[in-house]
Amino acid sequence: MERTYYLTVAIDYTNGEPHLGHAYEKVAADVVARAQRLLGRQVFYTMGADEHSHNVMKAAQERGLAVQEYCNRMAALWKETWDELGLSYTHFMQTSDPRHERAVQTLVQRIYDRGYVYRGTYRGLYCRSCEAFYSERDLVDGLCPWHLRPVEVVEEENYFFKLSAFQKPLEELLARSPAFVEPEIRLHEVEKMLEGGLEDISLSRPQTGWGVPVPWDPSHTVYVWFDALITYLSATGYGWEEGWETLWPADVHFIGKDILRFHCIIWPAMLMAADLPLPRKVFAHGFWYANGQRFSKSLGNVVDPKVLARRYGLDAMRHYLVTEIEFGADGNFTDESILKRTNSDLANDLGNLLNRTTTMLERFFQGRVPHATVHEDHPLRRLAETVREEYRGHMESFRLRQAVEAVFALVKRANKYIDETQPWAKKEDPAEQAIILYALAESLRIAAILLSPVLLQGAPGIFAQLGLDPALLQKARLEDARWGGLLPGTAIRKGAPLYPRLDPTQVEPVVPPR
């Protein structure tokens, strides 16, 4: 039996509400998870909440809540958002979960026992927003490189992790397996970080009353970034349940480019120190901006993913996030761009193809799929077979945009095929009409299967109108997208337009114009 495919996303600080940047990573990972299931694999998709931070504790105090109560409320709010966006995650791990704390203590103790921890005094530049230390060379004009805020000098007694001991092993890892970090531009960034030389880092901070106690010295808590990274292991059952080895190592970590150092240097070094297998890949995506600017509450341009999905439709949001940019690049959200893409791809191309096909099936074949022999050299059949294999390769390599575009190439070709063949003008040749209409309906069935990881409402909607049980998509496999799966005689159920065109004057902008 093939091992379970394990993918993770970054866990998030829950001292605020999710925005489009958070949702992008989770939706992209969800598309990958669903595509992997389509490829016939069992999938374990984990996410979570990063709670052992000063910022979370401060937010709880400001609201007059016990910190655990605050964390539970915020975790519920974030999960509510992910559920509304249709994410098929398997596990949600809070870092305040006692099971996670056991995993942290197990791993940290293992690293300590293997001689990679010592006690000392640390003096460094600390960003409270990142809850991370930086060297002088990391700063931008003396400011945190990500928040562009002043850092402060912190001096305290900590336990240190011997990160410097893994300089050469990490260099060898990247030389031996450059695909460990993707896309390639991020690999070069990690290589440059290593060129600067690695210094030992804090593993702990003095006890603050919130965090995982260091197992051999409870007067210290495990540093929040050490704690957070271990979520990828704790979600598998490491430290608290047998059988975790059936999931680990992760097939891929999806992260934002701002936390590259933690995931591509510190995390693999921690695993090397513990003599545990490394993840197979770290894929770092870019940021989303709104009207050319980073999300900012003061600018009023923070995009709430729930609002976006409600105004434009869940499918429109998911399709936009996957196709507007290359997965890994930066993106710029505008209301104009999501309107244009939704109307063009979903309404004009896919929705229109379904409507035209079902209308003609009703008109010429009494609402049933006709009997027809569609030869292998038929243009739609030939393209459908090609698209299926292209789709497989793109999804396996996280080329999400290209995977979806390949399917839409079939959709566009089918629309063009209608114009070329003009089936309404072939009343005296019902056999030819049958070939045309079967080819169109079968192209739609195949497109629905391949688009099912993205279009959670549209793909079942296509199946329903073709007279197929939408529940079949839950168990569909890529092999089901082979030509000929639509049985002649199937009674279609023509319905309302799948994706009505959006009128810009009727949709309230998510981001107010500048």
Q: How far apart are CA 428 and CA 450, in angstroms?
A: 35
Per 3-state DSSP, what percentage of the chain is helix, strand, and coil (rounded to 5)? Answer: 50, 15, 35
Phi, then psi, of 376 in degrees rounded to 5: -60, -25
CA dist 118 to 99, 122, 124, 157, 159, Å?
26, 12, 17, 11, 6
Reference 224, options 88, 130, 112; nearest CA is 130
Res 14: pLDDT: 82
**In b/e form, how buried is each residue of 140-175, taking b as 16+ CB within 10 angstroms?**
eeeebebeeeebeeeeeebbbbbbeebeeebeebbe
Could you report the average pLDDT of every consecutive run of 10 residues in the chain (514 residues)?
Answer: 89 88 96 98 97 88 94 96 97 97 98 97 74 74 78 85 98 98 97 94 88 96 95 98 96 96 98 98 95 72 91 97 96 95 98 98 97 96 98 98 98 98 93 97 98 98 98 96 97 96 92 73
Place of tokens 């870092």: 95
| Residue 409, Cβ density class (10 Å: 0-12 exposed, 13-18 middle, ≥19 buried) | middle
Tokens of 165: 């001991």
Reference 387, options 405, 365, 369; nearest CA is 405
- The domains of the chain, with CATH numbers, are 335-481 (1.10.730.10)
Res 298: pLDDT: 60
Res 199: pLDDT: 93
Contact between 290 and 215 (Cβ < 8 Å): no
Q: What is the mean pLDDT of the chain?
A: 94
Q: How far apart are CA 250 and CA 236, in angstroms?
A: 10
Count the Cβ atoms, other than its own, within 10 Å of residue 509.
12
DSSP tag of 300: T
Kindly report the pTM of this predicted structure: 0.93
Res 296: pLDDT: 66
Reference 485, options 388, 405, 415; nearest CA is 388
